[in-house]
Amino acid sequence: MRRLLFCANWKMHLGPDEARDFARRFRERYTPTEDREAWFFPCAVSVEATAAAFGGLTGARVGVQDVHWEPKGAFTGAVSVPLAKSAGASAALVGHSERRHGFGETDEQTGRKVRAVLSGAMTPVLCVGETLEERERGETAAVVKRQLGAGLKGLLAAELDRVVIAYEPVWAIGTGRNATPGDAAGVHSAIRTELRTRGAGVTRILYGGSVNSGNVAALLAEPELDGVLVGGASLDPAGWAEIVATAAV
Ligand code: PGA
């Protein structure tokens, strides 16, 4: 059975009280079903409150938006895998385009982070995607392949199956422009081929970039999409409950 994964990336929004309020409102509107999961990525200070507020909800998990590869030490402002786990996180975004392009995160660092997250028995959600200039130069496939190569470096086949990939074209994030379902499916299929050549069995591949309640059904109608990673449209509990309840056609 295809088990859809809906990831909410709250970015730099929703403090602990707001996260608790969100969870209460979401739970009032959402009936969990076995065919889907809803994962929440709050800012670090809200992880513990979010994990507590979604406790016991079938298919719900909480993750961090970024993680350091070292387990502890003098890394001001960073959160390690053990710290994230102790606050209730069981997943971590790695290499989100805002980390890559806004904070200078390198391909090599994404690989270290993925390996640290797996060693800590958490689930990495490795984000890949091309910029508009790269797309216009016809480099989408090459960029995504390079990012996968670095992010998944050194992983065994069994570890690859524990990684979730999120394809998020940078030009579609927060812009209101989303890839067409066909465009997204084409890149997903290329990602799947690349993962298989590395020995992966089944890997979940999400699409992200301006997903909302108006376009999510058409995107998920593509069998290549195993779910979505959503920023802006995940901040409203009623709207997000509607998106998570979307039927896969
Ligand atoms: P968006 O963000 O849905 O607001 O475009 C997606 C993301 O950055 O993960």
pLDDT band at 248; cut points 50, 70, 90? low
Residue 249 has a CB neighbour count (10 Å cut-off) of: 9
Q: Which of 96, 130, 222, 224 is catalytic?
A: 96
**Burial call 48-63: b when 16+ CB within 10 Å, e when fewer:** bbbbebbeeeebbbbb
Mutation probe of ligand 1 site: the residue of 9, 96, 167 with most atoms within 8 A of C-beta? 9
Per residue in 45-93, pLDDT (tens digit) is: 999 999 999 999 999 999 999 999 999 999 999 999 999 999 999 999 9
pLDDT of residue 179: 86
C-alpha distances in Å from residue 87, one per residue of 54, 80, 92, 155, 249: 13, 11, 13, 26, 36
> Nearest-CA neighbor of 125 among 3, 36, 248, 6?
6
Mean pLDDT of 96-118: 97
Mutation probe of ligand 1 site: the residue of 11, 168, 173, 243 with most atoms within 8 A of C-beta? 173
100 CA to centre of ligand 1 in angstroms: 14
C-alpha distances in Å from residue 86, one per residue of 11, 63, 90, 165, 227: 20, 11, 9, 24, 27
Per residue in 31-49, pLDDT (tens digit) is: 999 999 999 999 999 999 9
Per residue in 10-33, pLDDT (tens digit) is: 999 999 999 999 999 999 999 999
Residue 60 has φ and ψ, to the nearest 5°, of -95, 140
Mean pLDDT of 141-166: 96
Catalytic (active site) residue 68: no
pLDDT band at 7; cut points 50, 70, 90? very high
Do residues 210 and 188 lie in contact, with contact meaning Cβ atoms separated by under 8 Å? no
Q: Is 229 in the pocket of ligand 1 (CB under 6 A)?
A: yes
212 CA: nearest ligand 1 atom:
3
C-alpha span between 191 and 196 (Å, rounded): 9
